[in-house]
Amino acid sequence: MDAATFAASCTALEPFFRRLAQAGNDALGMDALRRIGIEAEAAMRDATGGVNTHRGAIFGLGLLAAAAGALGAGTVPIAAGALGAHVADRHARGILAGPVLLHAPGAQARRRHGVGGAPAEAAAGFPTVYRVGLPALLRGTRLRLDEPEAARVEACLSLIAVTEDTNLLHRGGVDGLEFARQSAAAFIAAGGVGQPGWRDHAKKLHRDFVARRLSPGGAADLLAMTLFVDALEG
């Protein structure tokens, strides 16, 4: 998995997010959204040679794209909180009643460690995006006005610090999850991107994670959702 793999996946997935937005505009339910998502995952794996680059994003961003279509994004203003509220109000039951992929790493980690993971987050309207991701993005923007990358790092590490990331649990167990959360929390407590040398500190965290084979994929998905919501909501 590398940058080229991710780029190929993104290109393959773009038309499916458009279809999900249209499905939302057409007021289609969770069954229809799930069918599009399954097609999207197949296209992703074809484009990446079988690598799972964006399954979590297909799920979370797919639901938010459908909400954006339902609420008329691009034609009318969308109020703060409206996208997540729509997902919870319209699809929570379908999300929680949906099929469980027994052998998927995230599903295995949820069963083993008793955490809700992505389905619970989505069914609740993405509270972590609204309570953690968006405030951290705003804070990072204020700390580094001319560095959008800094705001995203602030949001990413803030999300890692609080998320029960099933990808981290799958890769590193409880110890790996706690190492990642404590390391990210220490970065934020030290001033986040407002601290001198913040970029070097962030790069060190990256190296530490790589050395332990820790990939915070759940937090990365939440960061993508944070940026999506920030771009669309007023």
pLDDT of the residue at 116: 60
pLDDT string in tens for the chain (234-residue length): 788 999 999 999 999 999 999 999 999 999 999 999 999 999 999 999 998 889 999 999 999 999 999 999 999 999 999 999 999 999 999 998 877 553 455 554 444 544 567 888 999 999 999 999 999 999 999 999 999 999 999 999 999 999 999 899 988 999 999 999 999 999 999 999 999 999 999 999 999 999 999 999 999 999 999 999 999 998
Helices (H), 71-216: 82-96, 105-113, 117-123, 127-128, 134-143, 148-162, 166-189, 198-211
Annotated domain spans of the chain: 1-99, 116-234
Single-letter code of the amino acid located at 218: G
pLDDT of the residue at 78: 98
pLDDT of the residue at 225: 98
pLDDT of the residue at 234: 80
Q: Which residues contact 34 (CB under 8 A, 6 or more apart)?
A: 94, 98
The H-or-E segment that residue 18 falls in is: helix 3-25
Query: Does residue 219 sit in helix, strand or coil?
Result: helix
Q: Name 76's bridge partners.
A: 73
d(CA 158, CA 180): 11
pTM here? 0.91
